[in-house]
Structure 1
């Protein structure tokens, strides 16, 4: 799963992941204004609740990430949204670890943000809600594989002894990618039909202030 606990990662991986996560969080906070805070809080809470539900897959377990959906609606705001949820999960339920917060936040948020940059225009300009959902679902699946790859990479860079575990992690992310694609695709199709402005966070903010 994406919550790497304390004691597994090497110091260079922890520092590097933490530094990159800090850059993402800073970018998210810089683009966030008072009007965006409720949306960030709601999606952070949705991620917090959804990722508490873990489904056993072989020797590991998986949970939905919602990273592409969050990034489409929040832009860089996905980084602070994910970080806050991970902090609360670690403190309240012991999910993941405190020393690995930066790496875990980066592994979850960055693939979703990258996919949102790649497919955002296609989703927002889709001729039908169904097409928006299909494109978004495909992007969500790729983001899941991105997270799995980053988790495996963090383990591999920390110790070669984790290579077998890293391979298992990648395999367990296959059913998660299918489920994530279905869930995010359905939500995006619904939003594209009922509230397309939700997929344009900056435009929505400008319309509110106008």
Structure 2
């Protein structure tokens, strides 16, 4: 869900960059450095998911997996996603340097919301059905939150001129809601079988 370079006005870019700096600062303070391998794993998963994308209007459609990352990492998604987005800009020209802060907020803020809403459930012993529900909810909230936030940013920046593009953005991401949720549920089920202790150590 990268917003392309040259679309947003300078005031929107400044607000996005400021929010991103604050988020990264909080994320670095809250990062558990004993869990850096897990943070790097989710950053890599986010990077790979974002490279397989389809340009749509002034953005792009791709898997995000931000809800799953947020579930495990909390505020640490900000520095993790920053590195992934920066590498995507450098190697693939996705988004752009000027819009990096806005794109980071679009991806990371819904991930933090997932952690705040659902992270505590990882501390509990959950049945298979509840793990599936938890993973699916994380995927839907992560993608839905990103789509909603990107739409609000476009509406704030361009008003009615971007309404058609906002509708296109939302419609094209409907399949991503389901796919992201299915993958997230599958990740939780797999981890519960292979490394159940990992689910219990989430901050």
Q: C-alpha distance in 2, partners of 1:122/1:33?
A: 19
TM-score normalised by the chain length of structure 2 = 0.90
Q: 1:186 to 1:131 in 2, by over 3 A?
A: same
2:82 matches 1:94:
no
Tell me if the contact between 1:124 and 1:196 (Cα under 8 Å) persists in the aligned partners: no
Structure 1 unaligned segments of length 5 or more: list them. Answer: 204-210
- Closer, same or farther in 2 for the Cα pair 1:136/1:172, shift >3 Å? same
Structure 1 match to 2:61? 62
The corresponding residue for 2:196 is 196
- For 1:19, the equivalent position in structure 2 comes to 18
Normalised by the length of structure 1, the TM-score is 0.87
3-state SS of the aligned residue for 2:52? coil
Q: 2:73 is matched with which residue?
A: 74
Question: How far does residue 33 in structure 1 lie from its aligned partner after superposition?
Answer: 4.4
Q: How far has the Cα of 1:32 moved from its partner?
A: 2.2
Match of 2:106 in 1: 107
Q: Counterpart of 1:169?
A: 169
Aligned residues: 202
The Cα RMSD (Å) is 2.1
Shift of 1:88: 0.5
The equivalent residue for 1:3 is 2
CA contact (8 A) 2:47 2:88 kept: yes
1:155 maps to 2:154: yes
